[in-house]
Amino acid sequence: MKKTNPHILYSILDWGLGHATRSIPIIEELLLQGARVTLCGEGSTGHLIQSVFPQLAFHTVNGIQVKYPTRIPMSLSMFLQSPKISLAIKNEHQQIKKLVKDLQVDAIISDNRYGAFADGIPSVIITHQLNLQTPKNKQWLRPIINKINHHYLTPFDEIWVPDSPGENNLTGSLSHDAATVQKLKPKYIGSLSRFASLSVEREYKNYDAIVVLSGPEPQRSYFEKIIDQQLQDLPITAIIAKGTPRHPIQEQHGNCFFSSHISTDEMLFHYTNCKYIISRSGHSTLMDLCAVKKSAICIPTPGQTEQEFLAEMHSRKKHIVAFDQVQVDLKRGMEMLEQCTPFDLSVNQEFKPTIKIFFDRI
């Protein structure tokens, strides 16, 4: 018998705030469709999602803690750390099983947490990385890491991909590789953005540019230093979101105003009103650009092959301007933006029927 108010455990990976921001519209829709939602996670993403949904219960679940590389590609580093990752996923799974039993959960939705499933109840994983990328000189590694990746995806009843089906999409072969799709049979739920259903509630100070810093240390700090140095030499003002919500700070440095974290409302204001957007090239950032129909200067996190892949793909299509971190030239990038065409993809349209169908299974 279908439950009218299913209890959903929603689990979020703590690898970049994008996992939390893209989850916001899904959680909102779960609540609108009558679900009782309990959140679990950790770290910065946990802190952010609690600030957005303070009325929802939150449980800390420890997940994968990997060492981010500074000299080798992320994909190779993950492969070398696979025994440690496997152990962490098993530990995560045990914590999830206990929560499911203690809280009488009816289903689980996991944003990229491989251990967030349980026997006997429907479990969904949200991910766009079905066909993991490797550097061009490490192609031999791709089948190995994807075999491992697919092994971790198989316990889930459904795989939801935050992207559109068909050729006009955001992720290319990351999510649309034909052999991978045939094997995993994912459901495409369309692009997601916290911006799509919002309107700005108040006026904020105007700036010429907004910079959104993100990613693991030490690369986040390297990125911040490079951007700050170049902006000081340009005749513009900028607001810089440091991406450190757990370490509050607000300070002015020359023509740049630094803030540890910017609210969704203020972020939308600046995305809408700033002439220039400067950010990483993560999937969630690209979905936010779809929502505001803007182009941006994007700098992928060094070694993160997913971001490098997306930056190359969309700079080639002239949706964005992309630079390697060691070759950033903001002045030139701002000139190149004039030749870009913003993304033309619908946002927050396709996932609502998927949730309804999922509820019918519970």
Please name each of the domains of the chain with its CATH number.
7-192+347-361 (3.40.50.2000), 209-339 (3.40.50.2000)
pLDDT of residue 72: 62
Residue the block writes with tokens 């100070």: 205
Tokens coding 245: 């919500």
The mean predicted confidence, pLDDT, of the chain is: 92
**Ranges 114-118, 119-123, 300-304, 335-339: which has the least confidence:** 300-304
Q: How far apart are CA 181 and CA 179, in angstroms?
A: 6
Q: Can you give the pTM of this predicted structure?
A: 0.92
Percent residues over pLDDT 90 in the chain: 75
For the chain, percent of residues with pLDDT exceeding 70: 94
- Residue for token pair 């301007």: 321
Give the model confidence (pLDDT) of 235-292 as tens digits: 999 999 997 767 788 999 999 999 988 888 999 999 999 999 999 999 999 999 999 9
Confidence of residue 73 (pLDDT cuts 50, 70, 90): low
pLDDT tens for 47-66 read 889 999 999 999 999 977 65
Q: How confident is the model over 183-202, as pLDDT tens digits? A: 999 999 999 999 987 888 88
How high is the pLDDT of residue 347? 93
**Which of 35-39, 74-78, 219-223 reaches the highest mean pLDDT?**
35-39
Sheet containing 58-60: give its strands across: 58-60, 36-41, 7-12, 107-111, 123-126, 158-161, 187-188
Transcribe 201-258 into DSSP letters. Answer: -S-----SEEEE--SSTTHHHHHHHHHHHHHTTSS--EEEE-S-TTS--EEEETTEEE
So what's the pLDDT on residue 69? Answer: 59
Whole-angstrom distance, CA of residue 74 vs CA of residue 82: 12
Residue given tokens 């696979």 in the structure block: 82
Contact by Cβ (8 Å): 20, 48 = yes
Sequence-distant (≥ 6) Cβ neighbours of residue 332 within 8 angstroms: none
Instruction: Give CA 209 to chain center in angstroms.
Output: 22
